[in-house]
Amino acid sequence: MRRRTLTRQALTGRALPDTIAPGWLVVQVFGTVFIAVTLLTAREDAAPVWALYGAAAGCWLAFVALDRRRPGPAAVCLAMGALLSAAALGPAGDGSAIILTAVVLGRFAALAVPSVAAIMATGVAAMALSVLSWPLYGASAADAFGQAALLLALTLIGINHRQHVVQRRHAELLLEQTRRAQAEHARAAALDERTRIAREIHDVLAHSLGALGVQLELAEAVLEERRDVPTALVTIRRARRLATEGLAEARNAVAALRQDIPALSDALAALAEAHRRDHRSAVRFDPSGTPRPLSSGAAVSLLGTAREALTNAAKHAPGEPVSMTLDFTGDRVRLRVANPLTGGGAPAESAGFGLAGMRERLALAGGTLTSGQDGGQWQVTAEVPE
């Protein structure tokens, strides 16, 4: 248990006294006790000196009460207490005044709230009151300048401690900002991953469900028009197989987001063969150029674009031949999918999220997508950088 406690302290950067009580509270308590003992043991007969002592002690108590809630006014009270106790250096009959001044000024110099200029100004004022005790009250020059030197040393020590406190607070603030930035980055990455998975699932399901719908329409037409039950059963079995393959493709699509996929040319050739088999339409796939490895994101984007384009071809131009080319040229890879326009017209982007999803997918991979009519054909062209 003790080892775990020490490890926890090392990780949090807190020393053992800080686990008992905060450092600022220890200083406040010891300072209050020290001032109380000093006043109880003071040997003074002059009422003005006791008035200065009482005012300085009151300023200290006000500082203790306000420090955590209103640090600005608390620092002002502490500066006033330092100057009031310094004003008693001349008429004081013993060393109580210098003790009070040293405690209050040292604490004030260590505060992070006042500026260094304000701390130095308060310290110089206290030293000036100490030096003035020589000509005004007949104190020895050695005592007067010795007290001033002591106050200067305490002021510089307090400022040095203050710099460490300020640096520590800046480090804590920077650490907190870094943690927030990391949390936001993790949240943005999670949202991006969700978007990618949703886009991939949509493309796979759109392809599978589109093919499934074509097969079911064909089965319905065979039953209604020709009453051909055997052919309808074959079509329905094909539709069931497409549904099964669609689920498998959905799982593979999610896995492809996190691991390498097969060679793009092989994956496109298999996609063309599946479309030819399922939709009974000719698909010509022509790769050209020297195949080069692509990033997983670019390969998945092009594969999803081909799948969506083939689904649109089966939906808007059923039975028509489809041509698909993959060109490795220069520093880019270009995929073209074209099919003749029929009475069904061209795919409309407003009809669904297919073309919009392809365009977003390619944009994430640094690519572009164009689609439109070209010489009586509907053509989809996707490009990605290598």
Q: Tens of pLDDT along 239-257?
A: 777 777 677 666 666 665 5
Question: DSSP 3-state assignment of 361?
Answer: helix
Is 99 within a domain?
yes
Is 362 within a domain?
yes
Which stretches within 96-140 are classed as H helix?
A: 96-109, 116-137
State residue 351's pLDDT score: 39
Is 235 within a domain?
no
Task: Tell me: do 163 and 76 sit in the same domain.
Answer: yes
Task: Tell me: do 29 and 166 sit in the same domain.
Answer: yes
- Residue pair 101/85 in contact (Cβ under 8 Å)? The answer is yes
Task: Tell me: do 166 and 270 sit in the same domain.
Answer: no
Task: Tell me: do 271 and 170 sit in the same domain.
Answer: no
| Domain end call among 127, 151, 184 | 184
> Which tokens hold the place of 127?
């030293």
The CATH number of residue 376's host domain is 3.30.565.10
Question: Which residues span the domain enclosing 177?
Answer: 2-184
- Beta bridge partners, 332, equal 329, 385
Note the residue count of the chain.
386
Check pLDDT > 60 for residue 347: no
Check pLDDT > 50 for residue 224: yes
| Domain end call among 168, 184, 200 | 184
| Domain end call among 184, 202, 233 | 184
Tell me how far CA of residue 41 lies from CA of 31, 38, 60, 84, 97, in angstroms: 15, 5, 18, 19, 12
Task: Tell me: do 7 and 131 sit in the same domain.
Answer: yes
Q: 231 vs 204, which has greater pLDDT?
A: 231
Percent of the chain with pLDDT over 70: 81
Compute φ and ψ for 322, nearest 5 degrees.
-125, 135
Task: Tell me: do 48 and 176 sit in the same domain.
Answer: yes
pLDDT band at 34 (very low <50, low <70, confident <90, very high): confident
Q: What CA–CA distance (Å, rounded) separates 37 from 46? A: 19
Q: 194 vs 376, which has greater pLDDT?
A: 376
Q: What is the pLDDT of residues 37-61, one digit of tens each?
A: 888 888 877 888 888 888 988 888 8
Q: What CA–CA distance (Å, rounded) separates 220 from 231? A: 11
pLDDT band at 221 (very low <50, low <70, confident <90, very high): confident
Task: Tell me: do 170 and 282 sit in the same domain.
Answer: no
Q: How many alpha carbons fall within 13 Å on the CB side of residue 321?
A: 4
The helix, strand and coil proportions of the chain, stated in percent and rounded to the nearest 5, come to 70, 10, 20
Q: What is the mean pLDDT of residues 134-147?
A: 80
Is 247 within a domain?
no
Task: Tell me: do 144 and 270 sit in the same domain.
Answer: no
Is 203 within a domain?
no
Q: What is the mean pLDDT of residues 123-139?
A: 83
Q: What CA–CA distance (Å, rounded) separates 88 from 72? A: 25
Task: Tell me: do 300 and 174 sit in the same domain.
Answer: no
Is 246 within a domain?
no
Its pTM stands at 0.44
- Residue pair 31/107 in contact (Cβ under 8 Å)? The answer is yes
Beta strands in 38-90 (DSSP E): none
Is 322 within a domain?
yes
Task: Tell me: do 165 and 313 sit in the same domain.
Answer: no
Task: Tell me: do 172 and 75 sit in the same domain.
Answer: yes
Task: Tell me: do 168 and 267 sit in the same domain.
Answer: no
Is 102 within a domain?
yes
Q: What is the mean pLDDT of residues 299-325?
A: 86
State residue 248's pLDDT score: 66
Q: What CA–CA distance (Å, rounded) separates 152 from 106? A: 10
Q: How many domains does the chain have?
A: 2
Q: What CA–CA distance (Å, rounded) separates 158 from 82? A: 13
